[in-house]
Amino acid sequence: MKNSLTKIVVINFLVLLISILFIEIFFGNWFSEHNFGPYMREHRLKKNPVVLTYKDIQYKYIYKRNYHGFRGEEMDPSEIEAVIIGGSTIDERYKPYELSIIGNLNSLLKKNDYNFEITNAGIEGQSTAGHIYNFEHWFPKLKNFSPKLYIFYIGLNDYNSNYENENYNTKGNDGHVRNPEAIEVFFDSFKSSSFIYDKLRKIKQKYYTTAKIMKYDHNFFGLQDSKNYEYINYEKALKLHDLKELKLKYQGLISGYLHRVKILNNHVKKRNAVPIFINQVNFEGVRNERLFIINHSLIEYCMDKNLYCIDLADKFNGKFNYWYDDVHTTGEGSKLIAETLINDLIEIVRQGKIY
């Protein structure tokens, strides 16, 4: 009797195992060209509750990254018409969509009778080296992903980089698109390929959130000294900095940065789309000479190569309450950046006859 029971258990186990293997082989992503493999594990299917306090108002929202890695609700990659790429200043996970740069830009586009929306592809910590990584390891995994417009919001994660000339790598700058730990790479590859695990994650994304609620305060906690605050706009920076001297001093930094811009431009052109490059400022504007010179060099490069660029550094005038730390904007700051960009963005769309 005991042997018969053992035999039944073994047979049932083998049937279950074979069934699982059958399901995995025929329905999993093991052999799919769209299998994410070890990439984007930390940036897909995220659903984190957040409470933000800003101007004495409490915002409760869910920070989401969908199945394909973009911030926001689920969408078919084939339906994405425009995408914006940047670091944490575009991801803006610490504020709700309606207070973000993208939320404001999309609202302004709608008011100007444009029906397309910009999709948020921002990843915290990414520099232009990380953006290149996206074209190599993220975007190719997206079935029929073919936006007409790629917007790059760049500079803040590059001006302190050590990349010289044309040498660059993604270590520490890919935004954790790929886990650097070998064992994690193995498990991430397995999880991305498994049909059963994939379905369980989708169910969890739909019905559950993480248990921990993240709480933040954007009442200028990183900027305490408002009395001595001074924003250095582009006009002031031209008097403060010596352009000729900085071009020589940071020749390697500039060369490396523009080389990566060239690679990004080539990636977009190969996709028969239009790239737009936007430079950035921090809470001091362009007081920092490294940030100033790569911003200036980007615009010169765009003019020389006939690329579409928006010179935010030249157009934007910051105020103390536009930032909650040295690089990230408050809701008001994000709104003003969107309003500063929108006319140039629309003009580029018209010139390029993109939509």
At 82, phi and psi to the nearest 5? Answer: -150, 145
Token pair recorded at residue 190: 């397995």
Percent of the chain whose predicted confidence (pLDDT) is above 70? 92
Percentage helix, strand, coil for the chain under 3-state DSSP, each rounded to 5? 45, 15, 40
At 212 the pLDDT is 72
Residue 123 clears pLDDT 90, i.e. is over it: yes
Is the pLDDT at 16 greater than 80? The verdict is no
- What are the two backbone dihedrals, phi and then psi, of residue 280, each rounded to the nearest 5 degrees? -130, 165
Q: What is the pLDDT of residue 200?
A: 80
For residue 201, the model assigns a pLDDT of 81
The pLDDT of residue 92 is: 97
Mean pLDDT of the chain: 90
Question: Do the beta carbons of residue 96 and residue 216 sit within 8 Å?
Answer: no
pLDDT at 131 over 90: yes
Higher pLDDT among residues 194 and 126, named by residue: 126
C-alpha torsion angle, residues 341, 347, 348, 353 (rounded to 10): 140
Radius of gyration of the chain (CA): 23
pLDDT band at 158 (very low <50, low <70, confident <90, very high): very high
Query: Taking the domains of the chain in order of start, what are their residue ranges?
Result: 71-177+226-352
Q: What residues form DSSP beta bridges with 308?
A: 276
- Is the per-residue pLDDT at 24 higher than 70? no
What would the mean pLDDT of 34-46 be, rounded to a whole number? 91
Residue 229 and residue 221: Cα distance in Å, rounded?
Answer: 14
Would you state the pLDDT for residue 210? 63
Lowest-pLDDT choice from 134-148, 191-205, 338-352: 191-205
Token pair listed for 3: 């042997």
Looking at the predicted structure, is the pLDDT value of residue 18 above 90? no
pLDDT grade for 247, boundaries at 50, 70 and 90: very high
Is it the case that residue 163 has pLDDT exceeding 80? no
Q: What is the pLDDT of residues 291-340, one digit of tens each?
A: 999 999 999 999 999 999 999 999 999 999 999 999 999 999 999 999 99
Confidence at residue 245, expressed as pLDDT on a 0 to 100 scale? 97
pLDDT beyond 70 at 283: yes
User: Helices in the chain by DSSP H: which ranges?
Assistant: 2-27, 88-91, 101-111, 128-137, 182-193, 195-207, 234-240, 243-249, 251-270, 289-305, 312-315, 331-352
Give me 207's structure tokens: 């019905």
**CB count in 10 Å sphere of residue 260:** 22
Q: Which pLDDT score is estimated for 333?
A: 96
**Eight-state DSSP code of residue 320:** G
- 158 closest CA partner among 123, 130, 120, 122: 130
Residue 274's pLDDT band (cuts 50, 70, 90)? very high
195 burial type by CB count under 10 A (0-12 exposed, 13-18 middle, 19+ buried): middle
Mean pLDDT score, 38-43: 91
User: What digits encode the pLDDT tens for the residues 145-155?
Assistant: 999 999 999 99
- Count CB atoms within 10 A of the CB of residue 212: 8
Q: Are 63 and 93 in contact (CB under 8 A)?
A: yes
Homologous superfamily (CATH) of 71-177+226-352 is SGNH hydrolase (3.40.50.1110)
Full-model pTM: 0.92
**Residues 78-102 pLDDT 10s:** 999 999 999 999 999 999 999 999 9
pLDDT by residue (tens digit) across 179-234? 888 898 888 888 888 888 788 888 877 777 666 777 877 876 555 667 788 999 99
Least confident segment among 16-25, 33-42, 45-54, 144-153: 16-25
The answer to whether the CB of 301 falls within 8 A of the CB of 329 is no
- Rounded distance between C-alpha atoms, residue 38 and residue 190, angstroms: 8
- What pLDDT score was predicted for residue 222? 57
CA–CA separation, 20 and 216 (whole Å) = 44
Give the per-residue pLDDT at 3: 67
Strands 308-310 and 57-65: unpaired
Separation in Å, CA 317 to CA 87, 281, 313, 321: 21, 10, 8, 12
